[in-house]
Amino acid sequence: MIKDIYLERLPKDFMWGVATASHQIEGNTLNNWTQWEKDTANERAKKLPSWYKLPKALEQLAHNPELRVSGKACGSLELWKKDIEIMKELNLNSYRFSIEWSRVMPRKDFFDKEAVDYYRSLIKELKKNGIEPMVTCWHWTIPVWLAEEGGILSKNFVKQFSKYVQYIVENLAEDVKYWITINEPDAVSTMSYLLGTFPPQERSLIKYFKSHFVVMVNAHRKAYEIIKSNDKDSYVSIAKNFILFKPSKSSFVNKIVSGIADFFHNTLMMNRISKYLDYIGVNYYFDWEIGVHGISVGKGKLTDFGFPMKPYSMKRVLKNLKKYKLPIIITESGVPDYQDKYRSFWIEENIKAIADAIKSGMDVRGYMHWSLLDNFEWAEGYWPEFGLVDVNWKTLERKIKSSGYSYANIINAFNKFVKKN
């Protein structure tokens, strides 16, 4: 169990939460992923990335094309009250979730009132239960009509995104203080236009740059202005993915390579939007060694994705953000761990990293663990398990895992500590 010396460093109103995304949990969404998932399921299930070192049981699941299609996901569109009950059981006081753009604007220039009513009920119920909502406007999925016009690279993307944000702000902002405009502009641009693993599966350096450093930047700035002009006290950011790049073997060339990767993945976007942020939303998953020979995973334990299991490295990621002089909220951090063997360790090390970063002068205000439920993990489908709660894909029954209880115990210990002092 985590010691008081760590807990005492956290602010008394620390946000203890979890994060999810609409397409990954709601079920039956109709967006740019829906058809693509069906069209490419076989091909994706056939060829697994070479760096995966999956145990037999997981390898079988990864090769099953049926698990590569989102379908009913976790059924949270119906089961959201159950999800809130679970959050209460886990002692959480915050919840980051996203609004499904394709539900709110299923057709061009048409806003679906019922879709927004659903999110309003969700927000009200959270507040009634003492859980602070943090709303992500966009977590990667695009309405079909806009995808047909070119998606992120359509000349209308920023305009349509702004209309959508305006509408949800008008309808939901009275109960929402914390906003994320865009989830991981870096990852969605890289996967869609550089690595070609997300729809529309293109590989073009020019398109990647345009998506990441032009469209995403403009979309964020516009959304920031819309949210702030409605309520200047709202608290707005993006959820930015940060990777800790370390030179593999400390040669001069490797240092340069690692510096370049750090600049393009971590810094450039931050510099372009730092005047349009009230805090920094940090998503942390990886600590990578990089050099002229590419990325290596270094020594030590690996996650189910074959990536280094380095939860404490979050501390260095946080400290690297000192220059922006902004408060920080961890908007995601988690581990694919189907046996739930390392998740409790991951959470404890994350909290220690946060406490140590605070000790060295950083202003960290919250932690949203990824994720509440085992959910639909994009191109990988259902086999990677990130949840504090297990979901039975047939019955949609939820069962809190042992790591869920460890997280709840940490929060409980913190609450007791705060009461006592």
Min dist CB 216 to ligand BGC, Å, is 14
Output the six-digit token pair for 290: 């990089």
Q: Which residues contact 210 (CB under 8 A, 6 or more apart)?
A: 153
Output the six-digit token pair for 157: 């993307």
Q: Interaction with ligand BGC in 215-274: which residues (CB under 6 A)?
A: 241
Q: What is the amino acid identity at position 330?
A: I
Q: Interaction with ligand BGC in 265-284: which residues (CB under 6 A)?
A: 283
SS3 331: strand
If you ran DSSP here, which 8-state letter would residue 373 be given? B
Which of 15, 18, 21, 317 is the binder for ligand BGC (CB under 6 A)? Answer: 21
280 forms bridges with which residues in the sheet? 328
Is the separation of the CB atoms in 265 and 243 below 8 Å?
Answer: yes
Min dist CB 6 to ligand BGC, Å, is 25
Per-residue binder mask for ligand BGC (CB under 6 A), 122-151, x = binder: ------------------------------
Distance CA 237, CA 260 (A): 24
Which of 26, 186, 374, 377 is the binder for ligand BGC (CB under 6 A)? Answer: 377
Distance CA 416, CA 421 (A): 9
Q: How far is CA 120 from the centre of its chain?
A: 21
Q: Closer CB to ligand BGC, residue 334 or residue 404?
A: 334
Is the separation of the CB atoms in 243 and 288 below 8 Å?
Answer: yes
Looking up tokens 């009250």 gives: 81
User: DSSP secondary structure string, 91-115?
Assistant: T--EEEEE--HHHH-SBTTB--HHH
Residue 37 in the binding site for ligand BGC (CB under 6 A): no
Stretch that binds ligand BGC, among 104-112, 130-138, 166-174, 180-188 (CB under 6 A): 180-188
Stretch that binds ligand BGC, among 161-169, 173-181, 182-190, 360-368 (CB under 6 A): 182-190
Min dist CB 267 to ligand BGC, Å, is 18
Size of the site for ligand BGC (CB under 6 A): 10
Min dist CB 203 to ligand BGC, Å, is 20
Which of 33, 346, 367, 370 is the binder for ligand BGC (CB under 6 A)? Answer: 370
Min dist CB 129 to ligand BGC, Å, is 24
Residue 332 in the binding site for ligand BGC (CB under 6 A): yes
Distance CA 385, CA 7 (A): 28
Distance CA 281, CA 357 (A): 15
Residue 187 in the binding site for ligand BGC (CB under 6 A): yes
Residue 303 in the binding site for ligand BGC (CB under 6 A): no
Output the six-digit token pair for 186: 């870096």
Q: Closer CB to ligand BGC, residue 137 or residue 355?
A: 137
Residues that bind ligand BGC in the complex, under the rule CB under 6 A: 21, 183-184, 187, 241, 283, 332, 370, 377, 386
